[in-house]
Structure 1
Amino acid sequence: MISCSKIDNDAPKQYVRIMGKGSWGYNDEKGNVIIPLGKYKFLNPLDEKGMILAELKNKHGYIDIHENVIVPFDYDDINLFSQDFACVKKDNKYGFVDRNGKIVISIQFEDETYFQKTGLALVKKNKLYGFINKQGKEIIPIIYQNANEGTTDSLISLSKKGKWAFFDSFGKQKSDFIYDEIALTNITIDGEGESTFWKNGLILVRKNKQISYLDKNLKEVIPFGKYNTGERFNNNRIAIVSKNHKYGIIDEFGKERVKPEYDAIEHPEESYHESEIFVAKKGTNLVLLDEHGKKIYDNIKDFSFDYCRINKKIEKIYHVQDLNGKYGAVNTKGKLIIPVIYDEFQDFGSNYNAIVKYKGKFGLIDSDNKTAYPIENESIYSVDRRDLDYYVIKRNNKYGVIDKNLKPIFNFDFQDLSPCFYDTKNRFIAKQNDKFGVIDRAGRIIIAFEYSEMSNWVEYGPGENYHFVTKDNKHGLITREGKTVIPVIYDSLFYDSDKIIILSKNGKYGVVTIQNKQVIPFMYEKIYLEPSFFSKKKETEFYVLKNGKYSIINDKNEVIKSDLSKNEVENKFSYYYN
């Protein structure tokens, strides 16, 4: 058999997939265009055989790096190759092609599928399930109501008349149809997620409202009725079980690693996924158990995960809170490394030091519980512990800043000090002599100390390029460099959006944009506006008061409706504005 793909011995070994507007292409390692943008709606990375799954004019196929068509663009969808076969879709039916683009199993099935390592593929036809081999032969007839397969072992489960039975990958039936449920579980092999019936330890089955655990030969290791409930075995070959509403942990030999004596046992969430360790609950007390069910620490109210540097290595630790509300930390072996004495204890976050509160004062400790910075401050905080740069400290009602190496950046000369949200590493809003300004990390004044109020960036504010400011009880808007945008001359300022800022001066209200372009002239005694996130109207409407009468106008200052009831308007906006 002659392959359609070409081998170019002089071709670069590396190709870079590139994305354009609505199309994909490839360059070589030197940046030369190999497959230009503008032709293919999608291109997948090259697979191990040098083939690229591609989409062209809403059809799918495979090409090589030279755009030789290997699998023609005849299909509505096509999958990645598995066991050198790819599932294709055409006219809402599925079949298989080989790496030469030849249809090897006719397009006849109702769901997409893959060939697994067992050499079988689960297929659906006429709403029934079965298994075929790579020759298209039905190894298990397509006559069953449902089916499951493990990707790493040779067992298969099939259901008939609401009951499940085991088969092997050769099609031999291994049990009667007696089970109400046969559990398939997840396993990680070489970093890849797979599914298995028994490779984690034992198989969980349910029959007549009772559970049992079977070994790979389908022999009962844990008999029906011994436990009321049970979970699947995990990667560490243990499982949570319960009896008489009490929970414990068993291993694959049926031994109780943790006796069923707890009100609950579960895997806590760690970094948005289920942790391998366990937390057990008895009354109001929690117990931490490691991934093998061994006790780490007990008699705690709460805990959390953290990482710190111990002997120059980053290691996992657990913050624990005792029943009196005090905090400390233990390592993964259960050794107490930070005594449980602190009123507050923030994460190390993989750093050398952590912020603690003790007897009402704040300071820093290291992983040996040595004081790294005196615990004698009114507050300490860092902007981002994962990318620690400095600490902002308040002491004796004055603020200063030290870097992550505990060296001073600013002395305690400021009445207030907070990082500018638009540049947290380099700029700070500071207060001296009751006036606010902006300084950089070197202490240079960026915005002079002349304002009684100065906003930091907020999500629903004017963005990162501006500060709202107040001076002599007047309001305005300046840039982050201190340039005046809206003069600081207004009695009130309400920001709705960059297109609508309501201002008042000498008892008259108007509207401007963030560039200080006038939208509504300053001729009204009041202007009200439904906040944009409440209003469902396409056209912006302003409720205005002029000569004692309320009207509705648009953003062209044209009257939409006049002679509104005073009570109606003022009741409507009583919660929004003064």
Structure 2
Amino acid sequence: MKKGIRISLGVGAWLLIASTAFAQAPATADYIDGFDGEFAPVMINKQPQFLHRSGKIMVDKIERFGSYRTVIAVKHDAYGAINNQGTVIAPFKYDEVNIFDEKDKEHPEKNYCFITVRLNGETGAIDSMGNVLCPPEYNEIDALSPRTFKVKQNGLYGFCDMKTGKLLLAPRYEDIHKSYVIDNVIEIKQQGRLGLALEDGTIIVPPGYKDFRGWGEDGTDLFSYFTAAGKCGLMNKQGKVVTEALYDDFNRGPSKELVGATVQGKIGFLQTSDGVMKVPPQYTRTQQLGHLLQVWKGNKCGVVDATGKEIIPVENDEITLMDARGDGVYNVPSVAVSAGQRSYADRGPYYLLVKKAKAAALYTDAGKQLFPSEYDDVKILPYYGKTYVAVVKNGKCGLADFSGHLLLPVQFDGFSTERSQNGGYDDDYAGDDKNNFIGVMKGERVGVYNVAAGKMVIPVRYSEIRWQNAEILHLSAGDSSALADKSGNILRPMTQYGFYDAVAANRIVEKRYTNSEGNTLLIDKAGNILYENQYWEFNANNYNRLLMPKDRKNSPLQFSNGLLKVRGYSRENLFVDSTGKPHVFEDYAYVGDFYNGLAVAGKENGHYGIINEKKEEVYPVVLDDIASFEDELLQIKKDGKVGLLRKDGTLFLPIEYEGIDRIYDTTFYVVTRDGKKGVLNATGKLVLPLEYDEIRYNRGIQLFDVTKGDKSGIVDVYGKTVIPVEYDDVDKNRDWNGDIFPLFVKQGEWYFYLDKDGKELPVKSKKKKGYDN
């Protein structure tokens, strides 16, 4: 990089007066192009430049972007810096400029931003507003912490306040860096020995130690120090020595009050309050196990509690800590910490699965044994809000509660749970008390056990069991079928090719064959025939779902409002009620399945509407079509026009549009009438009038791109004009943050830029940059 400033003839002179010229009149460029983030390429007097999005400055070259839109650039063959407002914070006169910043959205206390400038071999610092923190007088400057930066002079280091630039600790140290054992503390090195200083420059531990180490215990006030002899002791965060350097190492203990201390390869537990060895060194290894500590002697392991007491003796091969869902736990913070939608505090109670040789046992996290050590494996089994224990022995499993009481003998091959719906057991429609029932398997056969009642309600002899509603289950075995209630009573016997469907808690549709003639019946649980029709073609999965909410559309057909449609008959308007009485809707050629008291109905003339079970028209039967619209609404059509209907039959949008389209998953609807488009909100209120040819929504910034004829503009979600609809072309900023401004627009023969307030930036051209430029 050349020293000083070189001004090119013509171009340099223009650049010097550019800032004042901008305020007077737009400069005419050879060509311009759209913004790509912070800058747009422009050509002035045949010299390529880059215009900042603020419109305040142009630069020759872009070197680097910072996290806060700070930019290092080159102008007049010298380096400078611009902040996000387009203000020059480091004038373009330096040999080198660097950005130091941190942007942490989750921990804003870690954030900082400053730049360093280098001139004639010396380095200075400037903040993001352009204030000089220190002139170029140091050999090096680097970030140290969110509040300090370190400086190097004559081979030695010190540090300064990042906000004011004040020298807090003079450069007389061989090295300095952020401490890893105390927050907001600086580690200093002098004559090969380490010490500690506060960020205000106060030395709390004079240099004299080989190393400082923490052991990962949150909230502790202690860390370990090492002497030149390789021995270590404890020191608190105020710099006070707690114990002498008598130990080989320290690591995490079972609690904040106890720390693991190593002496001659064995680990004991030292009291952090007074340095007294509470548990003599005896363990060969330790490891955190959630809120407990796992300890080893050779290859055998146990568990100690917070006091250092062995709650699980060191005589086992494997120990796992599990939460209430049976998931392994390796770290449990001392306070509740959010983890997605759950917090660690919600995962308890905790249990220890202990394995020794071929036996497994379950303990509480206090060391109480819940099951005898007679099982091959023990697993926690969450089930629809309840929790059980599955015990395994000789390849078979049983079910127990946490008192150790066996609910099911150890004789099954598996269970069908909410995590693994397998074995042919389907309880999707079992009702609110489905957690009282669990599918049990032997080989490929399945049965049902009622945990609440403590008895097997359906024996393990079926290939498939499927709840049809909250009271009745469908049983399959090969090509035969049966029905049972949830108490296990057989309602319809196992019949080859039997067809049974429970359509209510006490109503069943059955298909019977006599001499190859089929007949479909509606019966009660006792088998009494309430209605029969040889033409009835019943299918529990074949019905009109148009009026149903999304969460019910896949459920099997059930009586709704006491009416069940009789399909396959010559007429499409026949229903039967729960008493078996037929109901014919004589005035209609077609009536769909009822839901919430309503059904879609059609007449011979091809018109449709919505009626209730009393044959009253909730919405007149005058429509040409009714179709689903975004699950929540119905699109209705008449005479080539469309509107929207709620599923209760009330009108949402009148039938006066050529088209209606919902915008993504928003509450905005683009409607078209007489070839013009507008926007309505969730209440049907007009947001944009129906006067546009095209409308596109920018979700991230809540703006609409609109066109009228061959003109374009931008309108906000309240209908306020942001950019008038008067431009031939409107190109958005290709900014990775989603900011569309400044816009690159064309009006007549001119190309120019508009900021977010619709004001022109001070550069324009009659030419757009092409591929050949």
TM-score by length of 1: 0.52
Question: Which residue is equivalent to 1:342?
Answer: 657
Query: Partner letter of residue 79 of structure 1?
Result: L
Q: 1:432 to 1:29 in 2, by over 3 A?
A: same
Query: Partner letter of residue 180 of structure 1?
Result: G
Residue 500 (structure 2) aligned to one of 166, 170, 182 = 182
Residue 636 (structure 2) aligned to one of 320, 331, 354 = 320
- Kindly indicate whether residue 509 of structure 2 is the aligned counterpart of residue 204 of structure 1: yes
Residue 394 (structure 1) aligned to one of 684, 704, 707 = 707
Q: CA deviation digits over 1:130-173, x for unaligned, max 9?
A: 455659865655445554456833x4554567433344555544
Q: 1:69 to 1:286 in 2, by over 3 A?
A: farther
Question: Which residue is equivalent to 2:207?
Answer: none
1:413 positional shift = 3.8
2: CA distance between counterparts of 1:156 and 1:358?
A: 52
Map 1:60-71; keep pairs closer than 5 Å: none
Question: Which residue is equivalent to 1:300?
Answer: 624
Residue pair 1:356, 1:365 contacting (<8 A) in 2 also:
yes
Q: 1:259 to 1:393 in 2, by over 3 A?
A: same
Query: Partner letter of residue 442 of structure 2?
Result: K
Q: 1:87 to 1:280 in 2, by over 3 A?
A: farther
Residue pair 1:306, 1:348 contacting (<8 A) in 2 also:
no
1: CA distance between counterparts of 2:481 and 2:703?
A: 61
2: CA distance between counterparts of 1:236 and 1:442?
A: 57
Residue pair 1:347, 1:354 contacting (<8 A) in 2 also:
yes
1:120 positional shift = 5.8
Residue pair 1:246, 1:264 contacting (<8 A) in 2 also:
no
Question: Which residue is equivalent to 2:96?
Answer: none
- Kindly indicate whether residue 439 of structure 2 is the aligned counterpart of residue 125 of structure 1: no
Residue pair 1:44, 1:53 contacting (<8 A) in 2 also:
no
2: CA distance between counterparts of 1:113 and 1:171?
A: 18
2: CA distance between counterparts of 1:286 and 1:68?
A: 73
Residue pair 2:469, 2:504 contacting (<8 A) in 1 also:
no
2: CA distance between counterparts of 1:258 and 1:417?
A: 61
1: CA distance between counterparts of 2:705 and 2:716?
A: 9
Residue pair 2:473, 2:483 contacting (<8 A) in 1 also:
yes
Q: 1:291 to 1:401 in 2, by over 3 A?
A: farther
Residue 716 (structure 2) aligned to one of 392, 403, 410 = 403
2: CA distance between counterparts of 1:159 and 1:243?
A: 26
Map 1:232-247; keep pairs closer than 5 Å: 232-234=556-558, 236-237=560-561, 238-244=563-569, 247=572
1:96 positional shift = 0.8
Q: CA deviation digits over 1:301-346, x for unaligned, max 9?
A: 3544369xxxxxxxx6533222x42222334454545432322333
Gaps in structure 2 of 5+ consecutive residues: 1-305, 307-322, 418-426, 428-432, 541-555
Q: 1:296 to 1:112 in 2, by over 3 A?
A: farther
Residue pair 1:51, 1:63 contacting (<8 A) in 2 also:
no
- Kindly indicate whether residue 467 of structure 2 is the aligned counterpart of residue 165 of structure 1: no
Residue 413 (structure 2) aligned to one of 72, 92, 110 = 110
Question: Which residue is equivalent to 1:27?
Answer: 333
Query: Partner letter of residue 320 of structure 1?
Result: I
Query: Partner letter of residue 228 of structure 1?
Result: E
Query: Partner letter of residue 744 of structure 2?
Result: A
Residue pair 2:703, 2:715 contacting (<8 A) in 1 also:
yes
1:409 positional shift = 1.0
- Kindly indicate whether residue 382 of structure 2 is the aligned counterpart of residue 80 of structure 1: yes
Map 1:506-545; keep pairs closer than 5 Å: none
1:242 positional shift = 0.8
1: CA distance between counterparts of 2:570 and 2:744?
A: 58
Map 1:371-382; keep pairs closer than 5 Å: 373-382=688-697
Residue pair 1:43, 1:53 contacting (<8 A) in 2 also:
no
1: CA distance between counterparts of 2:413 and 2:764?
A: 72
Question: Which residue is equivalent to 1:552?
Answer: none
Q: 1:342 to 1:31 in 2, by over 3 A?
A: closer
Residue pair 1:426, 1:440 contacting (<8 A) in 2 also:
no
Map 1:337-486; keep pairs closer than 5 Å: 338-347=653-662, 354-364=669-679, 373-384=688-699, 389-417=702-730, 422=736, 426-427=740-741, 429-433=743-747, 440-443=755-758, 471-474=769-772
Residue pair 1:290, 1:332 contacting (<8 A) in 2 also:
no
Q: 1:96 to 1:397 in 2, by over 3 A?
A: same
Q: 1:92 to 1:367 in 2, by over 3 A?
A: same
Question: Which residue is equivalent to 2:401?
Answer: 98
Equivalent pairs, count: 398
1:78 positional shift = 4.6
Residue 222 (structure 1) aligned to one of 514, 517, 531 = 531
- Kindly indicate whether residue 578 of structure 2 is the aligned counterpart of residue 252 of structure 1: yes
2: CA distance between counterparts of 1:353 and 1:122?
A: 46
Query: Partner letter of residue 215 of structure 1?
Result: D
2: CA distance between counterparts of 1:290 and 1:388?
A: 43
Q: 1:122 to 1:45 in 2, by over 3 A?
A: farther
Residue pair 2:510, 2:522 contacting (<8 A) in 1 also:
yes
2: CA distance between counterparts of 1:373 and 1:451?
A: 33
Question: Which residue is equivalent to 2:644?
Answer: 329
Q: Whose relative contact order is higher, 1 or 2, with alpha carbons under 8 Å and at least 6 apart?
A: 2
Q: CA deviation digits over 1:515-540, x for unaligned, max 9?
A: xxxxxxxxxxxxxxxxxxxxxxxxxx
Query: Partner letter of residue 182 of structure 1?
Result: Y
1:247 positional shift = 4.0
SS in structure 2 of the partner of residue 177 of structure 1? strand
Q: CA deviation digits over 1:403-427, x for unaligned, max 9?
A: 1221121123422235567555644
SS in structure 1 of the partner of residue 654 of structure 2? strand
TM-score by length of 2: 0.41
Residue pair 1:389, 1:403 contacting (<8 A) in 2 also:
yes
Q: CA deviation digits over 1:436-474, x for unaligned, max 9?
A: 777553347799766977xxxxxxxxxxxxxxxxx2442
Gaps in structure 1 of 5+ consecutive residues: 1-7, 9-16, 34-41, 185-196, 268-273, 308-315, 454-470, 475-488, 490-578
SS in structure 2 of the partner of residue 80 of structure 1? strand
SS in structure 2 of the partner of residue 223 of structure 1? strand
Residue pair 1:61, 1:75 contacting (<8 A) in 2 also:
yes
Residue pair 2:378, 2:390 contacting (<8 A) in 1 also:
no
The range that moved more, 405-414 or 214-223, is: 214-223
Residue pair 1:149, 1:157 contacting (<8 A) in 2 also:
yes
Residue pair 1:166, 1:174 contacting (<8 A) in 2 also:
yes
Query: Partner letter of residue 99 of structure 1?
Result: F
Q: 1:212 to 1:375 in 2, by over 3 A?
A: same
Query: Partner letter of residue 205 of structure 1?
Result: E
Residue pair 2:449, 2:457 contacting (<8 A) in 1 also:
yes
Residue pair 1:198, 1:215 contacting (<8 A) in 2 also:
no
The range that moved more, 399-408 or 157-166, is: 157-166
Q: 1:86 to 1:394 in 2, by over 3 A?
A: same
Residue pair 2:641, 2:655 contacting (<8 A) in 1 also:
yes
Residue pair 1:25, 1:43 contacting (<8 A) in 2 also:
no
Q: 1:105 to 1:287 in 2, by over 3 A?
A: same
Q: 1:146 to 1:346 in 2, by over 3 A?
A: closer
Q: 1:401 to 1:133 in 2, by over 3 A?
A: closer
Query: Partner letter of residue 431 of structure 1?
Result: V
2: CA distance between counterparts of 1:101 and 1:367?
A: 56
1:180 positional shift = 1.0
Q: CA deviation digits over 1:238-258, x for unaligned, max 9?
A: 544412365455553446677
